[in-house]
Amino acid sequence: MSTDAAPTWPAEFADRYRAAGHWRGETFGGMLRRRAEAHPDRIAVVDPVAGHRWSYAELDRRADRLAAGFLARDIAKGDRVVVHLPNVAEFFEVIFALFRIGALPVFALPAHRETEIRYFCEFTGAVAYVISAEHAGYDYRELAARTRAEVPALRHVFVATGDPGGFESLADVAEAPAGAPADVAEEPAGGDGPRPHELAFLQLSGGSTGVPKLIPRTHDDYIYSLRGSNEICGVDENSVYLCALPAAHNFPLSSPGSLGTLYAGGRVVLCPRPSPDAAFPLIERERVTVTGLVPPLALLWIAAAPGTAHDLSSLDVLLVGGAKFSEEAARRVGPALGCTLQQVFGMAEGLVNYTRLDDPVETIVTTQGRPISPDDEILVVDDEDHEVVPGMTGHLLTRGPYTIRGYWNAPEHNARSFTDDGFYRTGDIVRVTTTGHLVVEGRAKDQINRGGEKIAAEEVENHILAHPSVHDANVVAEPDPYLGERVCAYVILRPGADPLKALAVKRFVRERGLAAYKIPDRVEFVDAFPQTGVGKVSKKDLRAAAAGGTPLSPGT
């Protein structure tokens, strides 16, 4: 499978982004080398559980050794490697090793299970899969064994931390055999090494289709988003970023996240869990200055902060995003945590908006920020793609120097998700204020945003439909005071089928090996679905019913 399958920017745009100084011809491998040369002894990554405190020189050396080990195992430029790690230091060792080779990490989340992992491996034609032995009570080696049995093209499973069982440990890979090519390209020297305009990795989309889509990001475009984010969020070499959300997610990876912090020469502290009991002691001990949370976690932190014995005074900035943060909660961040709130409205496909540190408080608490770049193009359109009157609500379309022009190997989705002139259809409903800030007013895509975790309704529907007793299923969001939204499934049983309990549907979906956050929180059995005028299922009415507005009477 060729990586040419990623649509890219037309030359006139690429030239413009280079001329503007957005794309500066850096690679991730080169970036780490430069930092290690400039300040070898500064601490880059702290992993408090393992007790690691790796300097820039150490991370750089480890990435080189591991890259040599990967090359010796025939992992080559352009190969895909599914990286499925919790918040451990080895996450950075692995991805920088892959960046150096030009192999592409595919960023799975710790919550993903067999169904998602098998799909990522199969769809990307991955040659290797990297796990930790165990995390949060789950054994990833068993998942790896099942995946390997089903995906013959997967040549390697590497275990980054813990007992490797029957697989190869990452430490062994890093012990490259003598004579192995240790000299890996870290710069676009004209050889075979990765070049700045080429793909660096595949990020995942929350999506709205039956299976997740893969997002091809280049060194040039992603590094620009890091540099822009650092400037807006005040991240520099003195910053200490607490990575509390799953490290591979686009928000904690890049907004400004761990990679932004490493770009700046700062320090990344990995938090094994995002709850206050894990995070607050680390904030105190490591003098954390900045972190990012999804709204439900921000609520937890706000509630826990006043009673904590831990000193949180080093915290300057809290970024909150991934889902809409309510104005009331936003107002409580400053008083409770003693830091500045930055709302962030971003997407793994590209565009990221931030409120600015010096925005008036009213702007910070009532908007989701404005774009990173002066070259981010924002269009707000009606259902016919006509621009709405400024200030009115409509569909957000965007194009720019770090927003993809198409998903990886998905021509049909691309025809729907991008306009002919290359704008990405975000699926978000927004309005733009007179100051150019965006306010997220809703969503047109068939997706549930469960506290920042995105769930494509169609994906869950397909799993429920696989149950032999199910005739039809529709999945919608139902409001939840804590998560914002939860997953509600409406199910019609087959005539004559044995009656099912809600619990049995949930168990069925779980046993199909799906991430826990996608399993319906509520299952309702109905005789029929409400219909629109032309006889389609009315998700609007189902959502209203789930919200408790209009009960669905049997037979409606």
Instruction: Work out the number of other CB atoms within 10 angstroms of the CB of residue 5.
Output: 14
**One-letter amino acid of 233:** C
CA distances from 146 to 56, 79, 118, 140 (A): 36, 22, 9, 10
How many helices (H) and strands (E) in the chain? 18, 27
Examine residue 373 and tell whether it contacts ligand DBH (CB under 6 A): no
Contact segment (CB under 6 A) with ligand DBH among 130-138, 168-176, 341-349, 528-536 equals 341-349
Q: How far is the CB of 533 from ligand AMP (least distance, A)?
A: 28
The binder of 254, among ligand DBH, ligand AMP, none, by C-beta within 5 to 8 A per type, is: ligand DBH
Examine residue 156 and tell whether it contacts ligand AMP (CB under 6 A): no
Examine residue 250 and tell whether it contacts ligand DBH (CB under 6 A): yes
Q: Give buried/exposed letters for 319-341 (b at 16+ CB in 10 A, else e).
A: bbbbbbbeeebbbbbeebbebbb
Examine residue 330 and tell whether it contacts ligand AMP (CB under 6 A): no
431 neighbors 391 (Cβ within 8 angstroms): yes
Helix runs in 156-203, H state only? 170-174
**The only residue of 105, 188, 196, 206 in contact with ligand AMP, by rule CB under 6 A:** 206
Examine residue 426 and tell whether it contacts ligand DBH (CB under 6 A): no
Examine residue 232 and tell whether it contacts ligand DBH (CB under 6 A): no
Examine residue 352 and tell whether it contacts ligand DBH (CB under 6 A): yes
**The only residue of 27, 229, 250, 258 in contact with ligand AMP, by rule CB under 6 A:** 250
Examine residue 359 and tell whether it contacts ligand AMP (CB under 6 A): no
**The only residue of 243, 347, 526, 552 in contact with ligand AMP, by rule CB under 6 A:** 347
The binder of 349, among ligand AMP, ligand DBH, none, by C-beta within 5 to 8 A per type, is: ligand AMP
CA distance 381 to 231: 30
Q: How far is the CB of 516 from ligand DBH (least distance, A)?
A: 19
What three-state secondary structure class fits 20?
Answer: coil
Residues 465-494 contacting ligand DBH, CB under 6 A? none
147 vs 208, beta carbon nearer ligand AMP: 208
The binder of 324, among ligand AMP, ligand DBH, none, by C-beta within 5 to 8 A per type, is: ligand AMP
369 neighbors 345 (Cβ within 8 angstroms): yes
Q: Is 500 exposed, middle or buried (0-12, 13-18, 19+ CB in 10 A)?
A: middle
Of 471, 461, 472, nearest to 519 by C-alpha is: 461
End-to-end Cα distance, the chain:
48
Examine residue 353 and tell whether it contacts ligand DBH (CB under 6 A): no
CA distance 31 to 373: 21
Contact segment (CB under 6 A) with ligand AMP among 185-193, 269-277, 306-314, 343-351 equals 343-351
Residues 47-76 contacting ligand DBH, CB under 6 A? none
Examine residue 295 and tell whether it contacts ligand DBH (CB under 6 A): no
Examine residue 343 and tell whether it contacts ligand AMP (CB under 6 A): yes
CA distances from 423 to 198, 288, 351, 374, 427 (A): 21, 38, 11, 16, 12
The binder of 368, among ligand DBH, ligand AMP, none, by C-beta within 5 to 8 A per type, is: ligand AMP
Contact segment (CB under 6 A) with ligand DBH among 176-184, 295-303, 344-352, 378-386 equals 344-352
Structure tokens at 123: 């769809």
Examine residue 219 and tell whether it contacts ligand AMP (CB under 6 A): no
Task: Enumerate residues 6+ apart whose C-beta is below 8 A from 335.
Answer: none
Strands 370-371, 377-381: pairing is unpaired
Residues that bind ligand DBH (CB under 6 A): 250-251, 254-255, 321-322, 344, 346-348, 352
Residues that bind ligand AMP (CB under 6 A): 205-206, 250, 321-324, 343-349, 368, 426, 428, 440, 443, 449, 454
